[in-house]
Every structure is written in C-alpha cells, then in structure tokens.
Structure 1
C-alpha cells in the first residue's frame, strides 16, 4: 500500500515509453513484459488521473448548476460510434486468440497459465484496452455537460474498472484476459446502443430496459470466468492469487447489487407502484 501512496504523490509520465509500446502492434512480437513494466511504473499516474477525474467531475457539476445544458449530439454520436468500433474489433482480435489457445492448450492454459502467449495483436489490444479506460472517463462529462442524471454507479464503475485493470495488468495473472474480452464485447453492444440513442431514435421503455439488462449478462459471464479460475486454482497451480480473485469477485458483486437497484429504480418502480396500488384497492374492496 505504501509504494502506491508514494507513487501517487510523485509525477511520472514517460511519453516515449507509452508510445513505444502502444505503437508496437504491427510487429511480429509484442513486448508484453515491457508493457507490464510501463503500467507498473506509471500506476501512480493512474491514481492521479482518477483523482483529477473526480475533482473535474465535481467542478463541472458546480459549473453547470446555473448554466444551460449543451446538446453535443454530433460529438456524442462520433464518440459512441468510435468506442463501439474499437470495442467490437478489440473483442474480435482477443476472442479469436483465446479460442486458438483453448484449442491448442485447453481451457486451463487460457484461464490459468499466463505464459501461454496470445498473438501479438491480442496482447497489443489488451494493453490498449487498459489505456482506453482513461478515455472512457469522457462518458461522464458528456452526461454532466448535457445535464443528464449522474449516478453513483456510473462513477464507481469507471473508477474501479480503470484502477483494477491497471493493477491486474502488471501482474502475471490471466484473469485480465477474461475480464477484457467480456468487457470489450459488451462495450461494443452498449456503445452501439448509445450511438442509436444519440441519433434521437425513439425506443420503447421495454427496449431500453432490455438493452440495459444486458449488463446482467456481462456480470454473469464475469462470474463464470471467476468460478472457472477458482476451480482450476484448486486442482492446479494457477497464476491468479486467491486474494486477487476474491477482490475481482467482490467488485463484480458490488456492481451487481448497485446495478440491480439502479435497474429497479429506473424501469421497475412504476410497475411495482401500480401493482401495490392495485393490491391495496383489492383489499379495500
């Protein structure tokens, strides 16, 4: 804990290191250990970015309190479309590599053997996805500047995803593969949905609820990954420490609880109130 605090208090940003790794995707081999080293050396920067994000969100909320909202329709369309394409393509590259690994070495090698290397392209996209999480903070500012409701779940999810992925990436755990593949795949669908919404296409409440409920499927797939790694951990010498696995499971559970309350409040409250009033009327009769 102390090294993290010390790193957080020191400014360190080596642009050359990040650029060298980020632009290495077309080479025959990806410098995966160098990439891990870069993230490890800059983890304090990730913490600083998170703190800056939270402060900027608070400042923007205060700034917009007495101002008219921005429309930002076209920038939002471009933003969602770009992130959707990035996510879909990244999930395709990584999922293809994972399928090849499973066919060649089995499920255990893919889930619990970090040294069963994926293709250079997949390793490259894994690194880019960790960095992309910082860019996704922009989602919050689109909400705030347009004066849309900002939930605790939204901020909590972005902060934890950003820091946890950066932490797991620098370890030898294969856990990040499963997390990133599932995350990219569902982000592709969700950003495509947000793109449709940003085009002002009207959707029914049921359609919105169905699209939002996809997040439950994402969390379920995370859980399946965690259980698979846990079972492999009991039989083999897995490269994912139990504490890391329990932490990931705890984060996933917290997402589930918060999202369940969010979903119920947004889409089920009116139905529950209607049912309650109907039952109350029946009792009075």
Structure 2
C-alpha cells in the first residue's frame, strides 16, 4: 500500500513536489557502495589526523564549529518537522503498523525529498570528527563507530526502500535537532543547563530502543507479506541498534550516574 493523500500534497513546497525520487533511488542502487569509500577515507583521516596532531598544539576553531553545528541543527529541525508531519499523518490515518511497513515514506509527498536528504547528509556529517581531532578532544569509540555504521546502513537500506525507514529517519532528525542545537550553543560559549545534556542522551537511548523494537516488528510482520524488507537487512538493523543502545546506555551511566571511586577519594 502506498499512501497518496491530496491533503498532504497541498502542504508540499515546490522543491519537494518536483523532487525526482525515482532518479534518487536509482542513483543509490548504482552507487550505494561508495559509502564504503567514504568510510575508509574517514577512518584514515581520523586516525591519521590524530597522529598528525599529537605533537602539535590544539586548534580553537570556535567560529567554524558554531557555524557547522548551527547549520546541521537547522537542517535537522526542518527535517524533523517535515518528516514528523508525514509520520503523524500516517499514524493518525493508517495506524502504527502501517507507519512502519508502508514504503511511501520514500516516494510520498513531503517525505520523499527529506528521506534522500537524510541519507546523503550522513556523508558530510562525518566532518563532525574533524573538530574533535583538530581540537585534540577525546575521541570516543561510540562517536566514530556510530558515524560509519549509520552511513553504511542508510545508503544500503534506502536503495531497497525497506520497511521501518520512516521511523529510523524521523527519530534521527529529531534527536539531531536537539543535539546540534546543544553543540552550537556550547561552541558559542553559552551556558547550557546540565539537564539538557541528560535529556539529549536519554533521547538517544530511547531512539535506539525504538530502533530495536521497529526492527523486531518488521521481522514479525514481514512473515505476513505486508512489511517489505530482507532478513539480512533486519539482522543488521537489529544488531546495529542494539549495539547503539548498549553504548549510549554505558555512556549515560559513566557520564551522569557513576560516582567517583570512593577508594581513591579516601587515599587522597
């Protein structure tokens, strides 16, 4: 079933209406493996950059970081609003199951442009790590692992228009809207209350838990023939989201819950 709602079409902007989703999907089917090239170059530049920066002083880069984070925040806010409106329509008109299994997110009004913009954005988002490396900040495994796997999975899945994509992309847009807004404020020197940082990590954990849930539902409903996907895609999605859930939960614990070592405190 593909959604075709004239009321939603009335809310489209011209560039969304004119977007060639068929051409985009065809291009991705032919070029999705380029994501491996981007990932390899990214890894080489990240770890090579760390080696290069080791004997050199860290860079400030405050203004470029503000502009970078602010631009990604605006992109994510608009993407979340547009895809969110589409998913809300799907939920209210067709129900939860259809919102997961329907492929119209990839070629429907409003969402088709933002679905393609989402998968393409995962390549330039790799630039986040350049600021960490050049400013000689601590690079977490969670950071670079997340960047590489999201890029690979997004490009791989878009070409097949697999079920669950609407939820995956909309959640990511929404969380990134919060995250990059926080980064922009911090880079600009603004004091952001600690609870806001806790909120962002909590939202990330909720996103990953929902990702595992959606993957499981796609597998369950695929057996009935109305939730198009592939077993290997579901397996990768489930493992990916489960690994994120564990890593973000561990980060939350170490950052916000764990108390200082009492033994060390007594010895000082």
Question: Could you state the TM-score of these two structures normalised by the residue count of structure 1?
Answer: 0.80
Query: Hey, what does 2:255 align to over in structure 1?
Result: 266
Query: Hey, what does 1:229 align to over in structure 2?
Result: 218
Query: Hey, what does 1:71 align to over in structure 2?
Result: 60
RMSD: 2.6
Query: Relative contact order, CA 8 A, sep 6+: which one is greater?
Result: 2
Structure 2 residue runs of 5 or longer lacking an equivalent are 1-12
Q: Deviations over 1:50-104 (max 9, x none)?
A: 1111111112111111111111111111111111110111111111112223344
Q: How many residues align?
A: 255
Query: Hey, what does 1:129 align to over in structure 2?
Result: 118
Query: Hey, what does 1:239 align to over in structure 2?
Result: 228
Query: Hey, what does 2:127 align to over in structure 1?
Result: 138
Query: Hey, what does 1:37 align to over in structure 2?
Result: 26
8 Å contact from structure 1 (residues 29, 120) kept in 2: no
Distance 1:95 1:134, change over 3 A: same
Q: 1:50 aligns with which of 18, 39, 58?
A: 39
How far is the alpha carbon of 1:216 from its aligned partner?
1.1
Q: 1:92 aligns with which of 81, 101, 107?
A: 81
Q: Deviations over 1:132-189 (max 9, x none)?
A: 0011101100111111100111000000000100000000312221110000011000
Query: Hey, what does 1:60 align to over in structure 2?
Result: 49
8 Å contact from structure 1 (residues 98, 118) kept in 2: no
Q: 1:107 aligns with which of 96, 108, 111?
A: 96
How far apart in 1 are the matches of 2:100 and 2:178? 24
Distance 1:201 1:40, change over 3 A: same
Distance 1:184 1:27, change over 3 A: closer
Matches within 5 A, 1:82-231: 82-115=71-104, 119-203=108-192, 207-231=196-220
Structure 1 runs of 4+ with >6 Å offset: none
Structure 1 residue runs of 5 or longer lacking an equivalent are 1-23
User: Which has the larger displacement, 66-75 or 109-118?
Assistant: 109-118
How far apart in 2 are the matches of 1:120 and 1:99? 13
8 Å contact from structure 1 (residues 109, 116) kept in 2: no
How far is the alpha carbon of 1:207 from its aligned partner?
4.9
Q: What SS class does the counterpart of residue 163 from structure 1 fall into? A: helix
How far apart in 2 are the matches of 1:46 and 1:118? 22
How far apart in 2 are the matches of 1:176 and 1:197? 31
Larger Rg computed on CA atoms: 1
How far is the alpha carbon of 1:116 from its aligned partner?
7.1
Q: Deviations over 1:5-50 (max 9, x none)?
A: xxxxxxxxxxxxxxxxxxx971635432321111121123221111
